[in-house]
Amino acid sequence: MSDRVLLAISMAIGETMAPESPVLASWELGLRLRERREATGLTSTAAAKHARCTQGYVSDVERGKTKIAPEKLDALLAAYELADEEVAELRELRARANTRGWWQAYSGIFDQTVLRYIGCEHGAESVQTHETLLIPGLLQTEAYGRALFHGTPNYRLTEVDPRIEARLARQRRLFDEEPLHLTAVVNEGALRQQVGGPEVLKAQLRHLLEVAEERSGNVDIRVVPFAAGGYDGLGASTYHLLDFPGARLPSLLYLENLTIMEIAERPDLVRQYSYALREALDLALSSHDSLALIKRVETEL
């Protein structure tokens, strides 16, 4: 990656505390508008009539998937009879939602679900990740990431560099002044799967050790050893559980498999995967013993 690209990413991300994310601002705005609509007893169809738009538009705004026009927001605020203070807050949320996140530079290669996830991750307070056979993306080296893309028919060669750049940009949140807290639960198989060959894997494992040591306050790597046997999440696809600052936004679940990425907000799904992750953590080695195992595998290569 060129110095110019790294500089651009650094300037875009910045070093601010609790970084703003237009994705989270849009989501919070939608949630609060839905709460106020329901409190007034209006249906989404009735709200749409006040805003002179479709019911589908109102629903998409409430789900944080569509940016609302200022005149339509004002119409809804008037219909919901909000106090001046809350009106100001919601207008401010709309302004923040209409800023541009650094990840939008990659809209040509990522679909809207992936872009939304990156925006959520950027503004998250903590991420809990479960991987069975791969090192999590937030902890991957450039060489390891390139090896994953090598030879796959799912990506054009011209997409590899920007995809790697975006992945490395996401990792900067681990090193902010107010950093993202990451709990990465990986199966022992992820430490031994020789993605890119022995040298690439060796460098990747060394990177895990370095990050865990340097960022011990906000990065916790836990390994589920082969000796642990089976558990609910062992055969699951990659998943991430996100929590956010404050009490406005609920926990979020992001699921990944070979061809499908999905953001799930349903409380029952979030609870189910949270339980599966707690079970994996119960079976995992301690932080100290996990790093010892990583070191042992690294020296065997």
Domain boundaries along the sequence of the chain: 20-97, 108-300
Common-topology check for domains 20-97 and 108-300: no
What distance in Å separates the CA atoms of residue 129 and residue 136, rounded to the nearest whole number?
7
45, burial (CB in 10 Å: exposed 0-12, middle 13-18, buried 19+) = exposed
Is the model's pLDDT at 117 over the cut of 70? yes
pLDDT band with cut points at 50, 70 and 90 for residue 239: very high
Q: pLDDT value at position 17?
A: 53
Averaged pLDDT of the chain: 91
Burial of 39 (0-12, 13-18, 19+ CB in 10 A): exposed
**Following CA atoms 209, 210, 211, 215 in sequence, which dihedral angle do they give, to the nearest 10 degrees?**
110
Angstrom distance (rounded) from CA 240 to CA 129: 4
Angle, helix 157-171 to helix 112-123, in steps of 10 degrees? 20
Q: Which CATH architecture has domain 108-300?
A: 2-Layer Sandwich (3.30)
Q: What tens digit of pLDDT does each residue of 54-95 get? A: 999 999 999 999 999 999 999 999 999 999 999 999 999 999
The answer, yes or no, to whether residue 13 has pLDDT greater than 70, is no
Residues composing the chain: 301
pTM of the model: 0.90
Beta bridge partners of 128: 183, 241
pLDDT digits (tens, 9 = 90+) for 182-206: 999 999 999 999 999 999 999 999 9
- Is residue 78 within 8 A of residue 45, CB to CB? The reply is no
Structure tokens at 243: 């929590």
Residues of the chain by 3-state class (helix, strand, coil), percent to 5: 60, 10, 30
Q: Can you give the pLDDT at residue 131? A: 94
- What 3-state class would DSSP assign to 286? coil
pLDDT of 77 reads 96
198-230 pLDDT per residue, tens: 999 999 999 999 999 999 999 999 999 999 988
- As its CATH architecture, domain 20-97 has Orthogonal Bundle (1.10)
Strand partners, 183: 128, 220
Answer with the residue of higher pLDDT: 258 or 164: 164
